[in-house]
Structure 1
Amino acid sequence: MLLALAGAPAAMAEEPLRTYAVTGDAIRLSLTGRPGDAERGRSLVMDRHKSLCLLCHSGPFPEPHAQGTLAPSLAGVGGRLSEGQIRLRVVDMKRLDPDSIMPAYYRVDGGERVGEAWRGRPVLAADEIEDIVAFLVTLKE
C-alpha cells in the first residue's frame, strides 16, 4: 500500500513529507533513500524534549531513573524487529495498534489530540526518523 503524504510544518517548509510504502508490518525502504546515522539517532532517543522516547520507554541508557515505564523496553529491539518494522513503528505505530499511546512521528493528519504547536506538522523529520531507526537496529541486547 502506498501512502501519499502532503504538507510540511513551518520549520520544515523546504521538505514536504515523503511518500512511503507499507508492506505488512514494515516500511522496508528508507524515507530518505539513505541510511541514518546511529549516533545522531542515539542522541535523539535520549532527548526527552525532541523525540520523547524516554518519556515512555526504558532501555540501555544512562540515568535509569529518567526512563519511562509505560511502553516496552527498547533493549534488544534490534534483535526482535527488522529495520522496516522499527521504521513503521516510529513513523506511525497507530497503523499497527490504533489504541497505542505512542504518537505517530511522521504524520500530519489525525492530530485532533495534538497540542496546537504540533498540528499540521510531524514530530520528527524524515532524516531524524532514519537516524533513530539506525540506532534502534543496533540494540541487539
Structure 2
Amino acid sequence: MKTTVALASVIGIVASAVLADTTAPDDVSFTEYGEVEASLTGTAGDPAKGAEIMTTRSKGNCVACHAVTALADAPFHGEVGPTLDGVGGYRSEAELRGIVTNAKKMFDGTVMPAFYKTSGFIRPGDAYTGKAAPDDLPPILSAQEVEDVVAFLMTLQDS
C-alpha cells in the first residue's frame, strides 16, 4: 500500500512539473506582430501528430480551409485560406505558433479560429443548446497539440 501511495505521489509531482511548464491560454505572450516566440510547452512538437491533428475534424481540421499537398490522403481540402504548401519555408516557427494560437493577433479580421484561446469571446454558445456558455470555453487544441501542428507546418518546405 505504501509503495502505491508513494508511486502515485511521484507521478503527481512529475505531472505537476510538466504542467507547470505549459503556458496557459491567457498567459501566451504575443509580439507586436502576433508571433509567439516561446514554446507553449518547452517540449518539441511531433510532426506526425501535427499532421493527424490537421486532418481530424474534432481537432484542428486545417484542411477544411487550407489545401496541403502533403496531406493529399485527407479528402475535401478547402480554399478559404491560403495553401500551406511551402509555409515552413517562408514563415518562422514563432509566426506559425502565433497564427495557430490566435491568428487574429497577426491578421486583423481573419476568419481563422483561435485554436488556443479560452476567454475574450463575444457571446460564446454552450454547444448546440442555444444558450450562453456558463464559463470560459476550453481551447480547441492543447498547448502540445499547437506545438505538434507547428512542427508539421515547419516540414512544409519548397522542394
Do Structure 1 and Structure 2 share a fold, with TM-score over 0.5? yes
Q: Is the 8 A contact 2:23 2:40 kept in 1?
A: no
2:48 to 39, 56, 59: 39
- Offset at residue 64 of structure 1 (A): 7.0
1:17 to 24, 28, 31: 24
- Structure 2's unaligned 5+ residue stretches are 1-21, 128-132
Q: Is the 8 A contact 1:58 1:64 kept in 2?
A: no
Closer, same or farther in 2 for the Cα pair 1:139/1:116, shift >3 Å? same
1:127 aligns with 2:144: yes
1:68 aligns with 2:78: yes
Alignment deviations for residues 37-94 of structure 1 (CA, whole Å, 9 cap, x no partner)? 1110011112133212111111112247510000000101100100000000000001
Which portions of structure 1, spanning 4 or more consecutive aligned residues, are displaced by more than 6 angstroms?
none
1:90 to 100, 105, 119: 100
Q: Percent identity?
A: 35
- Offset at residue 28 of structure 1 (A): 1.1
Structure (1 or 2) with the larger CA radius of gyration: 2
TM-score of the aligned structures, taking structure 1 as reference length: 0.80
- Which protein has the bigger helix share? 2
Closer, same or farther in 2 for the Cα pair 1:17/1:39, shift >3 Å? same
- Offset at residue 17 of structure 1 (A): 2.1
Which amino acid in the other structure matches residue 31 of structure 2? T
Between the aligned partners of 2:106 and 2:53, the Cα distance in structure 1 is 23
Q: Is the 8 A contact 1:91 1:106 kept in 2?
A: yes
1:30 aligns with 2:39: yes
Aligned length in residues: 128
Partner SS, residue 155 of structure 2: coil
- Structure 1's unaligned 5+ residue stretches are 1-14
